[in-house]
Amino acid sequence: MSPPHPIDPEGPAPEESSPRADWRRRAWRIGTPGVVLLSGVLFVASATTSGGTDLRPGRYTDLASLTQSESDNYAALQQEAADLRAEVEGLSASVDDAQVRKERHEAEALRGPAGLEPVSGPGLRIVMSDAPESSFEKALREADPEFNLRWLVVHQQDLQAVVNALWAGGAEAVTIQGQRIVTTTGIRCNGSAVQLQGVPYPEPYVIEAVGDQDALLHAIDANQDVTGFRADAASPDIGVGWELEEEDDVEAPAYEGLLDLQAAKVQ
């Protein structure tokens, strides 16, 4: 190991001039204005791009705020789509052509089965929710390796199981969070929320169905996946939420989302 360098009580000697030192001083004199100029250009570009707003806004402080914002945006787009659809229908109705009238008549006959008409009548109301906070705290405290924390939350497959059971029971219409479920509706997890037609919704999840109540109840009881969720709801260690009520008047609004389907195919 080398001995430490001795300390000069008079301080370090002044740096000797050399070609390399002269080059470094020239580089700093030239480079510093260039960096300042580049920074100014970036600031201007950022201001222009943001249009005077924050490029990284902090307006979403929690999931509820995000969900509400996305829901509001979706509602606005729904209204815009409805207005355009009404305009198209008005223009189509003004066309005096036998073939067009025939096609419109056939399309009108399919609006009901496609979920484009509101439906009301007796049915079921089911509410599914995550386990209470105390269940999460207990699971974390006990740290049982055989206990899966995923059992404490509602997943897309749980909602899909209930919806499929209701369809199997002959439901005339099904809604989740008041949104009409049709054949093109996608139900999938998005973090701690569930997405319906691209919009995230937090729990609790309210599922309503219009149809024969006895047939719907029988279908719910016969579905093994739903039975498993109900068993978790009855378990004191899990306690996910499950409520089922018979309703005299369930209202299912018409589906108002986009109807176009897009698919890829091999050329």
| Domain map (residue ranges) of the chain | 63-110, 119-252
pLDDT (tens place) for every residue of the chain, 267 residues total: 444 444 444 444 444 445 545 555 555 555 555 554 555 544 444 444 444 444 334 433 455 565 556 666 766 766 676 676 666 667 666 666 666 666 666 666 667 677 789 999 999 999 999 999 999 999 899 888 888 888 999 999 999 999 999 999 999 999 999 999 998 888 888 777 888 877 888 899 999 999 999 999 999 999 999 999 999 999 999 999 999 999 999 999 998 876 665 554 555
pTM for the structure as a whole: 0.61
CB proximity list for 244: less than 8 A, separation 6 or greater: 124, 125, 126, 220
Q: How many CA atoms, within 13 angstroms, populate the side-chain half-sphere of residue 21?
A: 5
Q: How far apart are CA 249 and CA 244, in angstroms?
A: 15
Q: How far apart are CA 212 and CA 122, in angstroms?
A: 7
- Check if the beta carbon of residue 193 is closer than 8 Å to that of residue 67: yes
Percent of the chain that is helix, strand, coil (3-state, to 5)? 45, 15, 35
How far separated are the first and last CA of the chain, in Å rounded? 72
Nearest to 175 by CA among 227, 115, 217: 115
The architecture that CATH gives domain 119-252 is: 2-Layer Sandwich (3.30)
Instruction: Say which DSSP state 152 is in.
Output: G
Q: How far apart are CA 5 and CA 13, in angstroms?
A: 14
- Check if the beta carbon of residue 208 is closer than 8 Å to that of residue 252: yes
